[in-house]
Structure 1
Amino acid sequence: MEDGAAIWRIARDSEVLDLNSSYSYLLWCRDFAATSVVARDETGEPVAFVTGYIRPDHPETLVVWQVAVEPGHRGTGLAAKLLDSLTARVAAVQGLASVETTVTPDNTASDRLFTSYALRHDVGLEREVLFDGGLFPEGSHLSEVLYRIGPFHA
């Protein structure tokens, strides 16, 4: 739970992610620690994270909620390493058939991350609009495109 404030700050400073309340990041660190991961620098401070959860109606699907890396650590492959580590851990504990996430059309970094993840793991990647932009109350949110990655090979 002690990482909640730091990952809220990393998300805020990303200037790309939808920022949730600081309270939600504290809850996330308590309730979804098994499906999330944090990277630390040499001083032990968090510099990147991946948060996720298991879909209640699809218990072999990991939904990746947010991925963020501090500016000084971007371009190093850290997000890919965190995603690989997290999915390997989830697969070892409970099995993993697929990974899902949503990406807005303007988020090229996330598109590259998840496309390269599918290629690296030699699995399929399907895309379809999950939430049309018009569903969001603020009226200016881009559509959220569902990336369905898998199935993973046994």
Structure 2
Amino acid sequence: MPAATNAANADVRYDGEYVGLMNLPDNGDALLPVPPGTDPAVRPRQAARVYGDARIDADFSTMRVKGQVYNRTYAAQGTELEALEIAPTDIQSDGSFSGDITQGQQGAGSYGGAFGGSNANSVAGALHATGHVGGVSEVEEFGLFVLERSN
């Protein structure tokens, strides 16, 4: 079991930062320069960076988890992106969980994670979302969060 189940530890919130990559263009400012005359077909490209915040709410009395990835920004353009909802799902006996990502009641992908540390003081997870930026089905995002207990 990932955490004590007494009433004081039943509802636990985890907050922290989120980082992701999308298959959209970035500005290339994180790439090393290439020699002059390099064929454009072999020049490296930089994946679009997404920054934001994440929150996970765990109810260890019912062994359920839910959350949100919010304040998401497409770094290259400074564009704010809609929040991704971490739909409620069960916490397994080993502290892991997996479920669906939604955005405005629409399916947008999947996520998974696990609680760790002493008495489940942290949680880490990953997500994969598609079709969540402007409804374009080819847009994919892979993201990560590592959060600390905040209450």
TM-score by length of 2: 0.27
Greater relative contact order (Cα 8 A, min sep 6): structure 1 or 2? 2
Going by fraction, where is helix more abundant, 1 or 2?
1
Going by fraction, where is strand more abundant, 1 or 2?
2
Instruction: Pick the structure with greater CA Rg.
Output: 2
